[in-house]
Structure 1
Amino acid sequence: MQLQTTIHAKLMQQLSPQQIQHLGILQLSTVELMALIAEKSLENPLIDVQERPLEKPYDWLKSVAVKERRTSGLQPIEFITKNERTYDFLVEQIPLTCTELQYEILNYLIHSLDARLFLTTTMDDVMKKYEIDEESAQELIDIVRSFEPFGVASYNHRDFILRHIADDFHAPAFAALFVENEMEALAKKEFRMLQKYYKLTASQVHDIFLYIKSLPRTPSMSLEESSPYIIPDATVVKLDEHWIIEINDGQIPQISLNNTYVELLKNREDAYLQKCMRDYVTMVQGIDYRRKTMYAILDYFVDKQPLFFERGSEYLQPIGLKDVAEALEIHESTVSRAIRGKYIQTPFGQIACKKLFIKSVGNTSVHAIHTKITALITNENKEKPLSDQQIVSELLKNNIEISRRTVAKYREQLNIPSSKNR
């Protein structure tokens, strides 16, 4: 074998150190950004930090935020340092628009969570206890299931894992199917059987196995743990028939240059101070980039999802990372970083930004299909319950084309028994 030297032309795009730092700042939540500024101010003598005045530029936004926190007499700094039990943390997420009865039922559901934050009551129990119909009970359970931490009010470990997979845009194609039907085979590592039955390669089956194995089995906090108060990163509120987006940077300290060191930098060349100046400029640009990107993403959602902000989560239309990225002419990973760990305050309470991105079947969101299945079963002839195949046929009349297996999966996620057991 003879070694040869060859030349290849290759076009590559590389991020500059400044761009990498901008993306790092972009993915920080408000609390994390505050911590970064405090850390950098200690490292960089050019950075002066000043606390912002408590008055926000829009008094009406301040009043809305205070009202929606269901709290009075607390200063912003108290919200940063205050620790609450997880129960209180969950109660804080109850929408302000609910009625007294709904508030009571939601409290009951939160009290019905075990130490793993799994739901121990059933929809039938809720219906009998409060004399409400199935659709109303399911709607309230869905509200609690939308709370943070992710996975709260799951029915069991299997349901919790399936919710994780449904929420993961990069989940392997057969992961949910394996969790539903093949957990025993995975436990026994019967990879060859799975490979043959599903016509997958050995590598694909192994990757699915490792992915499922890596998933958590319960939500990340228990009722005995404390959790910090979540500071929303943005507020969306309606004023005079117009939706207003306010990036909540009132808690973020203002940073400026230390004039003493700037004069030193003018009078002499100092490599260390020049580096500090570059770091300062990069941080200011990164914070501005974070603000503009978050605003652009929320502005897109306000434009595309007006019914969600008017009426609630059941009116969310399917939108993916790719849709937003294409509209804003940025990369999907940038959108993903911008929404990571961030929350917005809406007329219906706080919501994680990632909840704005929902999967769809065709042009219909999974949440909408859940609602339609629930409505079909609620209104069915109780003497002749609809089979999963009949539900498929009914959905097809509404131009929703899914398989019987998918209907069965969604029915189980809704904790609705099969037609034989109804």
Structure 2
Amino acid sequence: MRQGQSLVMTPQLQQAIKLLQLSNQELSEFIEAELERNPLLVKVEDEGGSAAAEASDPKSREQLTLDERSGLGEARDQLDAPGEDVFEPGTGSDAALAADARGPSATTDWSGASNGPASEDFDYAANVSGDVTLHEHLHSQLSFAGLSAADRLIAARLIDEMDETGYLRAPLEDVAKALGADIANVEAVLTVCQGFDPTGVMARSVPECLALQLRDRGRLDPAMQAMLDNLHLVARHDMKALMDVCGVDKADIQDMLLELRQLSPKPGAGFSSDTTVAVAPDVYVRELPNGMFAVELNSDNLPRVLMDKAYYAEVTALPMREKEKEFISECAASASWLVKSLDQRARTILKVASEIVRQQDGFFAHGVAHLRPLNLKQVADAIEMHESTVSRVTTNKYMATPRGLFEFKYFFSASIPATGGGEAHSAEAVRHRIKQLIDEEAPEDVLSDDQIVEILTGFGIEIARRTVAKYRESLNIPSSVQRRRMGRAG
């Protein structure tokens, strides 16, 4: 015999953990299944008629004051629904979910009993039923593109602006303005995205789409580029004019036209569009005239269910066999727990989203260049929750902001320490500084990684040479030796 401690997860606790990481669409499907299974559950369609509800309305709003000097916000939480308790982020403590008879605490940790470590990466293949869409296929390639957190935000926006055929329809100037990014940076990110599979995707016109495919095949020579610039002549079958503009004979023109027919003017045509569902944000972020940010839940996408107490009292008053009593008792407990779990889920999402906005207020005010280094632990410590709980919340949850729609996880990035104990620098900001230094170097004075370390140290950035090399490689920038050879060859 031996004595030991072990953690046992009840079915209710497993359900609470599951609800936390579900997307809005998955949650709606789960609720519909529960409504069919449990006769004591009723769906609330009209918020005004639920005054006697057992569960509290999860709709809430948080006002954040933007302090540009310190980068920190002063927060105030208030619940819109009448009769609700006001909760302050970060004032609670982790507790067992079932311990609060009035309802789940805003800071309850549901994750301590997890069977395995939570992943911050969203697995698109595991979360899509049916065929993969083009947008999902491109988003899944972002994590392998070697982009910084700021550039991933730009790339995600560009992908979202793409139509089902694979063409980018939004002007780059509009994307840059919305994100507060430099147009040259947006163009650089677009170049990376145009290297994604399928070849030709993210083009802004048919000639550019065909040019991307020809370049991938090593066939984009000046004559072929001239043909792409004059596709109207191809449409008219004007062979003589094509020979003149391309500077080749008739046989070459016929070969070039044959190559052109082998290309796809619609690179996204091979992907499914039937399963495409518009992403509904979980929270909204609005900038108010007084310089504050309003963070509120999207109540339209929060399914609200209640336990029908009148029906429960009516049923329990009837004579029943033991199995029937046991069934009704289980339904009542399940209904009560589900209502509390949904309320807890909504509160937890709001708390995490509010802390992200508080930490990344520079992005909302000034753009992607002002993203701060942020990790799950920082958010978890600030709101007094477990790190794996925050990880679950940031998976497949979206935030609608004045700068666009973003997944929670895109606001997290690594940090680089500052010399002298100053404020840390975000990894993407350091990458941007390295790229800027290399872009400005003279051909006869190519900077080595060690020299870049010295320059960055002068800027107050403490970084190792191997880290500079890693960031340089992630930006697809050759080494100093290769750049020096390329300069001589040029």
TM range (shorter): 0.5 to 0.7
Looking at structure 2, the residues matched to 87 and 10 of structure 1 have their Cα atoms a distance apart, in angstroms, of 50
Which residue does the alignment assign to 1:388? 449
- Counterpart CA distance in 1 for 2:365 and 2:185 is 21
1:341 to 383, 396, 399: 396
Partner in structure 2 of residue 27 of structure 1:
21
The alpha-carbon deviation at position 30 of structure 1 amounts to 1.0
Q: 1:336 to 1:260 in 2, by over 3 A?
A: same
Distance, in Å, in 2 between the alignment partners of 1:386 and 1:333 is 42
Structure 1 contact 265–274 (Cα < 8 Å) conserved: no
| Equivalent of 2:478 in 393, 414, 417 | 417
Aligned with residue 246 of structure 1, among 285, 296, 314: 296
AA paired with 1:391? Answer: I
Query: Relative to 1, partners in 2 of residues 1:291 and 1:397: Cα closer, same or farther, differing over 3 Å?
Result: same
CA offset digits 1:228-274 (Å, max 9, x no partner):
21111111111232211111131233312344344213555721111
Superposed displacement of residue 334, structure 1: 0.8
Find the partner of 2:440 among 379, 387, 410.
379
Amino acid in structure 2 at the alignment position of 1:390: Q
1:329 corresponds, among 378, 381, 384, to: 384
What is the distance in 2 between the residues matched to 1:90 and 1:349? 18
Q: Does 1:404 align with 2:474?
A: no
**Does 1:18 find its partner at 2:12?**
yes
Distance across 1 between alignment mates of 2:305 and 2:428: 43
**Aligned positions, number:** 292
Contact 2:41 2:307 in 1 (8 A): yes
SS in 2 for 1:245: strand
Once the two structures are superposed, residues 202-234 of structure 1 have per-residue CA deviations (whole angstroms, 9 ceiling, x without a partner) of: xxxxxxxxxxxxxxxxxxx99723332111111
Query: What stretches of structure 1 move > 4 A for 4+ residues in a row?
Result: 87-91, 152-156, 266-269
Answer yes or no: is the 8 Å Cα contact 1:106–1:144 preserved in 2. no
User: Which of the residues 246, 249, 265 maps onto 2:316?
Assistant: 265
Distance between the aligned counterparts of 1:144 and 1:248, measured in 2? 34
SS of 1:235's partner is strand
Cα deviation 1:303-354 (Å, max 9, x = unaligned): 2221122122321211211122222222111111111111111111111111
Verify the 8 A CA contact 2:438 2:447 in the aligned structure 1: yes
Indicate the larger mover: 396-405 or 324-333.
Answer: 396-405
Paired with 2:401 and 2:342, the residues of 1 have a C-alpha distance of: 23
Supply the AA of the counterpart residue of 1:263.
Answer: E
What pairs with 1:234-313 in structure 2 (closer than 5 Å)?
Answer: 234-240=283-289, 241-258=291-308, 259-267=310-318, 270-313=325-368
TM superposition score normalised by structure 2: 0.52
Greater fraction helix:
1
Offset at residue 41 of structure 1 (A): 0.6
**1:52 and 1:225, CA in 2 relative to 1: closer, same or farther beyond 3 A?**
farther
* Native 8 Å contact 1:106 1:140 kept in 2: no
Q: Whole-Å Cα distance in 2 between the matches of residues 36 and 144 of structure 1?
A: 40
Q: Structure 2, unaligned stretches of length 5 or more?
A: 48-58, 61-130, 140-153, 173-181, 198-267, 418-423
Q: After superposition, what is the alpha-carbon deviation per residue over 1:37-75, rounded to whole angstroms, capped at 9, x for unaligned?
A: 11111111111124458xxx99xxxxxxxxxxxxxxxxx
| Alignment partners' CA distance in 2, 1:372 and 1:399 | 12
Alpha-carbon distance in 2 for matches of 1:332, 1:303: 18
> How large is the Cα RMSD of the aligned pairs?
4.0
TM-score, normalising length from structure 1? 0.59
The alignment partner of 2:301 has SS state of coil
**Do the aligned residues in 1 keep the contact of 2:307 with 2:336 (CA within 8 Å)?**
no
Q: Does 1:138 align with 2:185?
A: yes
2:277 aligns with 228
How many Å apart are 1:387 and its aligned residue?
2.3
Q: Is the 8 A contact 1:46 1:262 kept in 2?
A: no
Q: Which structure 1 segments of 5+ residues have no match?
A: 1-6, 59-82, 92-101, 118-125, 127-134, 146-151, 157-220
| Structure 1 CA distance for aligned equivalents of residues 407 and 377 of structure 2 | 18
Larger deviation, residues 274-283 vs 15-24: 15-24
Cα 1:281–1:88 change in 2 (3 A) is closer
Label 1:265 to 1:300 Cα distance change in 2 as closer, same or farther (>3 A). Answer: same
Query: Secondary structure of 1:256's partner?
Result: strand
Query: What letter matches 1:325 in structure 2?
Result: A
Offset, 1:137: 2.9
- Aligned counterpart, 1:161: none
SS in 1 for 2:374: coil
**Code of the aligned partner of 1:342:** K
What is the alpha-carbon distance in structure 2 between the residues aligned to residue 373 and residue 143 of structure 1? 20
Conserved? CA contact 1:296–1:328, under 8 Å = yes
* Structure 2 letter corresponding to 1:323: Q
* CA separation of 1:277 and 1:222: change in aligned 2, threshold 3 A: farther
Letter in 2 for 1:137: A
Q: Contact 2:132 / 2:271 at 8 angstroms: preserved in 1?
A: no
SS of residue matched to 1:374: helix
Structure with max Cα Rg: 2
| Alignment partner, residue 222 of structure 2 | none
Query: What amino acid does structure 2 have at the position aligned with 1:141?
Result: A
1:368 to 406, 415, 429: 429
Which string of whole-angstrom CA distances, capped at 9 and with x for unpartnered residues, describes residues 337-387 of structure 1?
A: 111111111111111111122112332221111111122123222442322
Q: How far did 1:394 drift?
A: 1.1
Deviations 1:365-421 (A, max 9, x none): 211111111221232224423222221211121232333333232223223333323
Judged with a 3 Å threshold, the aligned counterparts in structure 2 of structure 1 residues 333 and 143 are, in CA distance, closer, same or farther, namely farther
